[in-house]
Amino acid sequence: MRVVAKFGGTSLGSGDRINRAADSIAAAVEEGHEIAVVASAMGSTTDDLLDEIKFEADDRDRAEIVSMGERTSVRMLKAALAARGVDALFLEPGADDWPVIANDLGEVDVEETQRRAAKLAEELDGVVPVITGFLAQNLEGEITTLGRGGSDTTAVMLGRYMDADEVVIVTDVEGVMTGDPRVVEGARNVGRITVDELRNLSFRGAEVVAPSALSYKDEELDVRVVHYQHGDLLTGGTLIEGEFHNLIDMQEDPLACLTVAGRAIRNRPGILADLSVALRDEDINVDSVASGMDSITFYVLEEESNQAEAVLHDRVVADEALSSVTVEDNIAVIRVTGGELPNRPGVILEIVQPLSEAGINIHDVITSATSVAIFVAWDDREETLEIIQNEF
Ligand SMILES: Nc1ncnc2c1ncn2[C@@H]1O[C@H](COP(=O)(O)OP(=O)(O)O)[C@@H](O)[C@H]1O
Ligand SMILES: N[C@@H](CC(=O)OP(=O)(O)O)C(=O)O
């Protein structure tokens, strides 16, 4: 099996941990696997280096300084592997075989990186390359970085472009857990999770795998998260499944929008739950909810609109602090999911501006960490879809 194993800062945080990392790599090589290693800076080295820049330094100097973290780790790990009789070499920007090319903003040159990674893969041949994570080289040959947490991106991207079977992210937790074990008690390993689910979580603070790394995951590439104490790179931990979806998707059937207004919405805890339970009890599936100060809007399939209206009307009649329910049919929703949406300043404007120029009335915009849903009239859906497709 061809494996890219990424060791995070925590798994290389001391000489003892580097020995442990080298043992696990040596064991996998011994079992006959082809291994490429991606190494982060030891422990908190990146933060420590950045903290010591107490002077004006341009981006180039900062990248040079911060790169010393990863450049130290790969030398340590390569030497630890050599001490175990493993034939290894270290790779950093500037090396002949260096694979990761990006501009000074950290945007990867996909074509060039793919070409170089494929070449590196051909040359694996019994030698373990230990590659600096997080670092890239621009087309002028200068050092740049992929941004904080970028070693995960190095690993998953190289895993994909080197045609690896598996990427293993070695860190200080058993895997992806039900919550951050540093914060919640009793967190347990989820065992399996889809890449889209994890990407949502990682955009919202679960730093176990960087979100930009997950964009490179495709169906064929397994990504596993394991604890550095586990010892075996190829079993256990959490398996991240599926393919990252970057898509523009139009709901096939028309929706109806039901809006409930009343003062209860502003000041009564549990009102959203009450209304949701009433709909659930009638088996009505809610597509989306948009909550304002004085009203709540539920989007449901249009074919369920009459039933939903009756349910909500019963609640309004029974509750003095609710005033009215109203329905609009013939609504379409177009969702833009994935990509670098959350990192793209002005992304909502990029969508709504051309729609407004085309005279399309936007019914609602609902955003999440990794998606934007645009609600428009059913008759405007084709034109809206076309405009959004042109924008992305
Ligand atoms: N749901 C979660 N599952 C696992 N770890 C999580 C989760 N949410 C947050 N974390 C945190 O992510 C940390 C691992 O990420 P990070 O510190 O970046 O590791 P590394 O140095 O190996 O890259 C864990 O120590 C844990 O506190
Ligand atoms: N060392 C870099 C890159 C990185 O990915 O680190 P880690 O794997 O420890 O999260 C950083 O701190 O941003």
So what's the pLDDT on residue 35? 97
So what's the pLDDT on residue 369? 75
So what's the pLDDT on residue 341? 67
For residues 233 and 253, membership in a common domain is answered with no
So what's the pLDDT on residue 382? 93
Number of domains in the chain: 2
Average pLDDT, the chain: 94
- Does residue 323 register a pLDDT over 80? yes
- The 3-state secondary structure of 312-329 reads HHHHHHHCCCCCEEEEEE
Within 6 A (CB) of ligand 1 lie 8-11, 40, 171-173, 176-177, 179-182, 206-208
- Does residue 390 register a pLDDT over 90? no
Ligand 2 pocket residue status of 245, Cβ below 6 Å: no
Question: Nearest ligand, CA of residue 181?
Answer: 1
So what's the pLDDT on residue 346? 81
Q: What is the mean pLDDT of residues 191-202?
A: 92
Angle between helices 347-357 and 381-391 (to 10 degrees): 130
Asked if 10 and 16 touch (Cβ cutoff 8 Å), the reply is: no
For residues 295 and 359, membership in a common domain is answered with yes
User: Domain with 350 in it: what CATH number?
Assistant: 3.30.2130.10
Q: What is the mean pLDDT of residues 165-185?
A: 95
Question: Nearest ligand, CA of residue 152?
Answer: 2
User: What ipTM does the predicted assembly reach?
Assistant: 0.98
18: which DSSP letter? H
So what's the pLDDT on residue 348? 84
Domain boundary among 219, 244, 269: 244
Ligand 2 pocket residue status of 69, Cβ below 6 Å: yes
What is the spatial distance between Cα 219 and Cα 341, in angstroms, rounded to a whole number? 22
Question: Nearest ligand, CA of residue 45?
Answer: 2
Ligand 2 atom at minimal distance to the Cα of residue 6: 8
Domain of residue 344, residue span: 248-391
Question: Exposure of 330 by Cβ count < 10 A (0-12 exposed, 13-18 middle, 19+ buried)?
Answer: middle
- Does residue 112 register a pLDDT over 90? yes
**Band (48; pLDDT cuts 50, 70, 90):** very high
Domain boundary among 186, 220, 244: 244
So what's the pLDDT on residue 370? 77
Taking CA atoms only, the protein residue closest to ligand 1 atom 23 is: 8
For residues 270 and 333, membership in a common domain is answered with yes
**Band (138; pLDDT cuts 50, 70, 90):** very high
So what's the pLDDT on residue 342? 61
pLDDT, tens digit, 9 for 90 and up, residues 290-309: 988 899 999 999 999 999 99
User: Domain with 123 in it: what CATH number?
Assistant: 3.40.1160.10
